[in-house]
C-alpha cells in the first residue's frame, strides 16, 4: 500500500445512497419518543373527532366522512405544521451540533444524497403519522355508518401529508441557517405560530386596511401554505370557499371546477419550494 | 500522495488556515501539531471536503473539492469523539458506515476482529467507555480498508491505559503502509506514531520536523518530577546543578527542568551517583 491511485467514481447523486440515508432517518424517527408522541396525539385526537361526529346525520349537508374530514382539517392545520417544522428544524442543525453530520459527510456521499436521504426518511415517517391518524378516523367513520365523501376524505389526507412535507422543507431550511438544534427549534416554533395564527389574522387585517381586491385577498391567503391547505381541503369536500367571503365566491366563479385542482397544486408547490431552497442552501453553503 | 497548495480557510475576516502548503507522500504518517485554534482540525475538514476553502488539495491525483466522493472513498476519518448515534449498537453503526460505502455487511465482522471489538458488537454506543468509542471510530474508518486515515485528536479523551492501547493500534495501522494524518497536541504521542510533525500556529505552518526534534525546535521544555528515597533530595539537586540542570525541591521530591532530549540524561546522572529514584513523571 505504498503507492495508490484513486479510481474516480461518479460525483452525481445515486438513488442507492439516498435510500441508505433515508432508511437510517426512518429508523431513527421510529425509535424516537417524539415520533410516537406525535403519532399517538394525532391518531388519538383524530379518533376523538371521528367519534363525536353524529352517526347517520347530515349536519351542514356533509356525510359522516365529510364531518370527520372537516374536523380533521381543523386539527391538521394546527398539529401537522408543528410536526413537520420541528422534525425538519432539528434534522440538520441537531446532527451538525453533535457531530453526526460531519461523520456522515466524511463518507463518499454527496451533500445532495445526504439531504435527499434525510428529507425522504422524515417524509415517510410523517406519512406514517398523518395517514395513521386519518386511517384511525376513517375506520371509526366507517363503523359509524359513513361512506359517502370517502374520496374527499382521502384527498384531504394527502393534502395533510403535503402540508407536512412542506413544513418539513421549511424546517430543514431553518435548520441550514441555525447554529444549534435548540435555536432551530425556537425559530421553527415562532414560524409555526406565524403561519397557524398570525397569518390568518394578518390576511384579514391587511384586506381591511388596504382594501385588497378580491383576487388579491385570495392570492394573499394561498401565500400562506397552511391557509392554502385549509382552502384546498374545504374546496375538496364542499366545492365552495364561503369561508373567504367575496374572495371565495370570486374564486369559485373564476375557476369553477378547476378550483380544487388549482388549490391542490398550490399546496403541492408549497411542498416543493422550501425543500428546494433548503437543498440549495445545504449543498452550496454551510461548513460542517 | 496528498498535495496541499496555498490552502486558506477564512471565517469572516479571520483566516483560520492561511497559505498552508504541504506534500504527504504515500505511506507517510504526519502529525498536525499545535494549540487549540491553530487550524489543524480545519485542515482535516478541508481534506474531507466538509468546509469550503481557497487553494487546492489533490489526493491521489484527484481534486478534493471537485471529486470529493472519490477522494473520501480513499479515506477513513476518525472523529475526536463519537458523541452521536448513542442508541445504535456497535454493529449497526458499522453496518451503516459500510452501506454508505456500498460495502457488504461481512466487512463489519472483519473490522470488529481487527480492532478487537467482537465482544461489544451488540452494545449501544452510549454504553461504551471513551476508549471503546474511539475503537468504534477507528473501526468505522477501517471499513473500506483505506490507504489514508485522518485522525482528529484520537487520544484526547482517553485515560492513560486506553491511550496506550489506541496508540498501539494506530502504530499497527501505520506499519501496514497507510498514510496517517493525525491532529494532536501531545508531543510524546507524536514521537511514537508519526514520521513528521507539522507544527501550526494561528493557521500557519511554523515548523516541519522530525517528532523527536519538535520540543527542541519550538523551545518547549518540561519539568521532570522525581520522587527520591528519603533524605537524598538536597544531594541530588547539587549533582544536577553541577551538571548544568536547573533543579529545585518539591514537597514530594525534586523538579528538574529538561528539554525533550534531556529526561534520560538527568535520570542517568542520578543513577550513576547512586541515588535511588522511586518514581518519576513529566510535567508540562
- The boundaries of every CATH 3.40.50.300 domain in chain B are 2-217
Tell me how close the Cα of B5 comes to any Cα of chain A, in angstroms: 19
- Give this complex's ipTM: 0.83
Task: Please give the average per-residue pLDDT across B163-172, as a whole number.
Answer: 85
Closest CA to A114 of A90, A86, A85, A92: A92
Question: Cβ distance A72 to A156 under 8 Å?
Answer: yes
Binary contact (A110, B61; C-beta < 8 A):
no
Task: Please give the average per-residue pLDDT across A164-173, as a whole number.
Answer: 96
Question: Cβ distance A122 to A88 under 8 Å?
Answer: yes
Task: Please give the average per-residue pLDDT across B80-88, as a whole number.
Answer: 86
Rounded to whole angstroms, the Cα distance separating A101 from A21 reads: 11
Residue B62's beta-bridge partner residues?
B59
Rounded to whole angstroms, the Cα distance separating A219 from B93 reads: 48
Q: What are phi and psi for residue B120, nearest 5 degrees?
A: -110, 10
Task: Find the range with the poorest average confidence among A220-234, B108-122, B139-153.
Answer: A220-234
Task: Please give the average per-residue pLDDT across B65-91, as a whole number.
Answer: 90
**CB contacts, 8 Å: A103 with chain B:** 77, 79, 84-85, 140
Residue A5 has pLDDT above 90, yes or no: no
Task: Please give the average per-residue pLDDT across B75-92, as a whole number.
Answer: 90
Residue B176 has its nearest CB partner, among A1, A17, A105, at: A1
A54 vs B158, more confident: B158
Residue B200 has pLDDT above 60, yes or no: yes
Q: What is the pLDDT of residue B259?
A: 75
β-pairing, B29-33 vs B179-184, is parallel
* Most trustworthy range by pLDDT among A77-81, A213-217, B82-86: A77-81
Contacts for B173 with CB less than 8 Å, ≥ 6 apart:
B138, B142, B149, B180
Look over chain B and give the mean of its residue pLDDT values, rounded to a whole number.
Answer: 89
Tell me how close the Cα of B48 comes to any Cα of chain A, in angstroms: 6
Residue of A nearest to B143 (CA): A107
3-state SS class at A113? helix
Rounded to whole angstroms, the Cα distance separating A283 from B240 reads: 62
Contacts for A210 with CB less than 8 Å, ≥ 6 apart:
none
pLDDT digits (tens, 9 = 90+) for B42-64: 999 999 999 999 999 999 989 99
Residue A6 has its nearest CB partner, among B74, B97, B140, at: B74
* Residue A112 resides in a domain: yes
Q: What is the pLDDT of residue A240?
A: 66
Residue numbers of the domain that contains A223 = 16-283
Residue B90 has pLDDT above 60, yes or no: yes
Handedness of CA B271, B276, B277, B278 (dihedral sign): positive
Rounded to whole angstroms, the Cα distance separating B202 from B191 reads: 23
Q: What is the pLDDT of residue A140?
A: 83
Question: Cβ distance A228 to A266 under 8 Å?
Answer: yes
Task: Please give the average per-residue pLDDT across B87-109, as a whole number.
Answer: 94
Task: Please give the average per-residue pLDDT across A41-60, as a whole number.
Answer: 71
Angle at A54 between CA A163 and CA A128, to 5 degrees: 30
Task: Please give the average per-residue pLDDT across B210-221, as a whole number.
Answer: 74
Residue A4 has its nearest CB partner, among B48, B66, B147, at: B147
Q: How far is CA A151 from CA A132, A154, B18, in A?
A: 17, 5, 63
Q: What is the pLDDT of residue A33?
A: 84
Instruction: Provide the CATH topology of domain B2-217.
Output: Rossmann fold (3.40.50)
Question: Cβ distance B35 to B199 under 8 Å?
Answer: no
User: Which residue shows C-alpha cell 401537522?
Assistant: A80
3-state SS class at A3? coil
B176–chain A Cβ distance below 8 A for any pair:
yes
Q: How many CB atoms lie within 10 A of CB B11?
A: 10
Question: Cβ distance B63 to B5 under 8 Å?
Answer: no
Residue B36 has pLDDT above 50, yes or no: yes
* Residue A9 resides in a domain: no
Binary contact (B96, A20; C-beta < 8 A):
yes
A224 vs B262, more confident: A224
A241 vs B265, more confident: B265
Question: Cβ distance B125 to B86 under 8 Å?
Answer: yes
Rounded to whole angstroms, the Cα distance separating B40 from A6 reads: 25
B181–chain A Cβ distance below 8 A for any pair:
no
Residue B62 has its nearest CB partner, among A6, A287, A288, at: A6
Contacts for A1 with CB less than 8 Å, ≥ 6 apart:
B26, B27, B147, B176, B177, B178
Confidence of residue A148 (pLDDT cuts 50, 70, 90): low
Residue B96 has pLDDT above 80, yes or no: yes
Tell me how close the Cα of B10 comes to any Cα of chain A, in angstroms: 11
Residue A197 has pLDDT above 80, yes or no: no
Closest CA to B166 of B220, A47, A90, B174: B174
Q: What are phi and psi for residue B77, nearest 5 degrees?
A: -115, 130
| Alpha helices by DSSP H, chain A | 15-30, 33-52, 64-98, 100-105, 111-143, 150-177, 181-193, 199-210, 214-222, 225-238, 246-255, 259-284
Give chain A's domain count: 1
Task: Please give the average per-residue pLDDT across A55-78, as a whole number.
Answer: 67
* Most trustworthy range by pLDDT among A36-50, B34-48, B187-201: B34-48
Task: Find the range with the poorest average confidence among A59-63, A108-112, A258-262, B233-237.
Answer: A59-63
Question: Cβ distance A96 to A7 under 8 Å?
Answer: no
**CB contacts, 8 Å: A99 with chain B:** 79, 81, 83-84
Residue B84 has its nearest CB partner, among A9, A20, A98, at: A98
Confidence of residue A221 (pLDDT cuts 50, 70, 90): confident
Q: What is the pLDDT of residue A142?
A: 79
Which of A5, A19, A22, A106 should be substituted to probe chain B, the one whose Cβ sees the most B Cβ atoms within 10 Å?
A106
Task: Find the range with the poorest average confidence among A159-173, B176-190, B225-239.
Answer: B176-190
User: Which residue shows C-alpha cell 481487527?
Assistant: B114
The burial class, CB within 10 Å (0-12 / 13-18 / 19+), for A33 is exposed
Residue A58 has pLDDT above 60, yes or no: no
Q: What is the pLDDT of residue A60?
A: 46
Confidence of residue A1 (pLDDT cuts 50, 70, 90): very low
Q: What is the pLDDT of residue B147?
A: 93
Binary contact (A288, B50; C-beta < 8 A):
yes
Task: Please give the average per-residue pLDDT across B209-224, as a whole number.
Answer: 77
As a whole-number percent, the residues of chain A with pLDDT over 90 amount to 43
Binary contact (A11, B83; C-beta < 8 A):
no
All cell numbers assigned to B218? 519550538
Residue B102 has its nearest CB partner, among A16, A106, A285, at: A16
**CB contacts, 8 Å: A4 with chain B:** 26, 60, 74, 147
Task: Please give the average per-residue pLDDT across B145-160, as a whole number.
Answer: 86
Confidence of residue B250 (pLDDT cuts 50, 70, 90): confident
Rounded to whole angstroms, the Cα distance separating B183 from B39 reads: 10
Question: Cβ distance B170 to B162 under 8 Å?
Answer: no
Tell me how close the Cα of B98 comes to any Cα of chain A, in angstroms: 9
Q: What is the pLDDT of residue B184?
A: 86
Q: What is the 3-state secondary structure (H, E, C) of chain B?
A: CEEEEEEEEEECCEEEEEEEEEEECCCCEEEEECCCCCCHHHHHHHHHCCCCCEEEEEECCEECCCCHHHHHHCEEEECCCCCCCCCCEHHHHHHHHHHCCCCCCHHHHHHHHHCCCHHHCCCEHHHCCHHHHHHHHHHHHHCCCCCEEEEECCCCCCCHHHHHHHHHHHHHHHHCCCEEEEEECCHHHHHHHCCEEEEEECCEEEEEECHHHHHHHCCCCEEEEEEECCCCHHHHHHHHHHCCCEEEEECCEEEEEECCCCHHHHHHHHHHCCCCEEEEEEEC
Q: What is the pLDDT of residue A61?
A: 46
Residue A84 has pLDDT above 90, yes or no: yes
B12–chain A Cβ distance below 8 A for any pair:
no
**CB contacts, 8 Å: B68 with chain A:** 11, 110
User: Which of these CATH numbers, 3.30.70, 3.60.110, 3.40.50, 3.30.530, describes B222-283?
Assistant: 3.30.70
Contacts for B158 with CB less than 8 Å, ≥ 6 apart:
B130, B131, B134, B166
Amino acid at each position: 500500500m505504498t503507492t495508490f491511485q484513486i479510481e474516480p467514481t461518479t460525483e452525481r447523486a445515486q438513488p442507492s445512497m439516498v435510500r441508505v440515508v433515508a432508511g437510517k432517518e426512518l429508523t431513527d424517527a421510529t425509535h424516537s419518543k417524539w415520533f410516537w408522541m406525535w403519532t399517538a396525539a394525532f391518531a388519538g385526537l383524530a379518533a376523538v373527532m371521528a367519534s363525536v361526529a353524529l352517526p347517520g346525520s347530515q349536519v351542514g349537508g356533509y356525510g359522516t366522512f365529510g364531518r370527520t374530514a372537516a374536523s380533521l382539517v381543523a386539527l391538521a392545520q394546527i398539529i401537522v405544521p408543528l410536526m413537520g417544522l420541528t422534525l425538519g428544524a432539528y434534522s440538520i442543525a441537531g446532527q451538525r451540533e453533535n457531530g453526526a453530520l460531519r461523520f456522515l459527510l466524511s463518507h463518499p456521499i454527496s451533500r445532495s444524497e445526504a439531504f435527499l436521504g434525510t428529507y425522504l426518511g422524515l417524509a415517510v415517517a410523517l406519512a406514517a403519522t398523518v395517514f395513521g391518524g386519518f386511517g384511525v378516523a376513517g375506520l371509526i367513520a366507517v363503523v359509524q355508518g359513513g361512506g359517502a365523501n370517502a374520496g374527499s376524505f382521502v384527498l384531504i389526507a394527502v393534502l395533510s401529508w403535503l402540508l407536512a412535507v412542506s413544513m418539513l422543507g421549511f424546517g430543514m431550511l431553518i435548520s441550514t441557517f441555525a447554529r444549534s438544534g435548540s435555536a432551530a427549534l425556537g425559530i421553527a416554533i415562532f414560524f409555526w405560530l406565524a403561519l397557524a395564527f398570525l397569518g390568518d389574522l394578518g390576511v384579514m387585517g391587511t384586506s381591511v386596511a388596504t382594501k385588497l381586491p378580491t383576487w388579491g385577498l385570495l392570492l394573499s391567503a394561498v401565500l400562506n401554505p397552511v391557509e392554502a391547505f385549509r382552502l384546498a381541503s374545504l374546496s375538496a369536500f364542499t366545492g365552495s370557499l364561503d369561508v373567504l367571503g367575496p374572495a371565495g365566491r370570486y374564486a369559485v366563479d373564476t375557476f369553477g371546477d378547476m378550483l380544487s385542482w388549482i388549490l391542490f397544486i398550490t399546496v403541492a408547490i408549497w411542498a416543493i419550494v422550501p425543500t428546494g431552497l433548503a437543498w440549495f442552501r445545504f449543498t452550496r453553503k454551510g461548513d460542517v | 500522495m496528498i498535495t496541499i497548495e496555498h490552502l486558506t480557510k477564512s471565517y469572516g475576516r479571520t483566516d483560520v488556515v492561511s497559505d498552508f502548503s504541504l506534500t504527504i507522500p504515500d505511506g507517510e504518517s504526519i502529525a498536525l501539531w499545535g494549540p487549540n485554534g491553530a487550524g489543524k482540525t480545519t485542515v482535516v475538514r478541508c481534506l474531507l471536503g466538509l468546509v469550503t476553502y481557497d487553494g487546492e488539495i489533490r489526493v491521489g491525483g484527484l481534486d478534493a473539492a471537485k471529486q470529493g466522493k472519490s477522494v473520501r472513498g480513499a479515506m477513513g476519518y476518525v472523529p475526536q469523539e463519537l458523541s452521536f448515534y448513542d442508541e445504535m449498537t456497535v454493529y449497526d453503526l458499522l453496518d451503516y458506515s459500510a452501506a454508505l460505502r456500498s460495502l457488504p455487511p461481512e466487512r463489519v465482522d472483519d473490522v470488529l476482529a481487527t480492532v478487537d471489538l467482537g465482544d461489544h458488537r451488540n452494545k449501544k454506543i452510549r454504553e461504551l467507555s471513551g476508549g471503546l468509542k474511539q475503537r468504534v471510530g477507528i473501526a468505522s474508518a477501517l471499513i473500506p480498508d483505506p490507504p489514508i486515515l485522518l485522525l482528529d485528536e484520537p487520544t484526547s479523551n482517553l485515560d492513560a491505559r486506553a491511550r496506550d492501547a489506541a496508540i498501539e493500534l494506530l502504530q499497527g495501522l501505520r506499519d501496514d503502509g497507510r498514510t496517517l494524518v493525525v491532529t494532536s497536541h501531545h508531543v510524546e504521542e507524536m514521537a511514537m506514531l508519526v514520521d513528521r510533525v507539522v507544527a501550526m500556529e494561528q493557521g500557519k505552518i511554523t515548523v516541519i520536523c522530525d517528532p523527536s526534534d519538535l520540543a527542541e525546535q519550538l523551545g518547549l521544555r518540561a519539568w521532570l518530577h522525581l520522587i527520591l528515597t528519603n533524605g537524598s533530595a538536597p544531594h541530588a539537586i547539587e549533582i544536577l546543578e553541577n551538571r548544568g540542570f536547573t533543579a529545585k525541591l518539591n514537597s514530594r521530591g525534586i523538579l528538574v527542568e529538561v528539554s525533550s532530549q534531556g529526561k534520560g540524561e538527568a535520570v542517568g546522572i542520578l543513577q550513576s551517583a547512586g541515588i535511588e529514584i522511586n518514581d518519576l513523571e513529566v510535567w508540562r
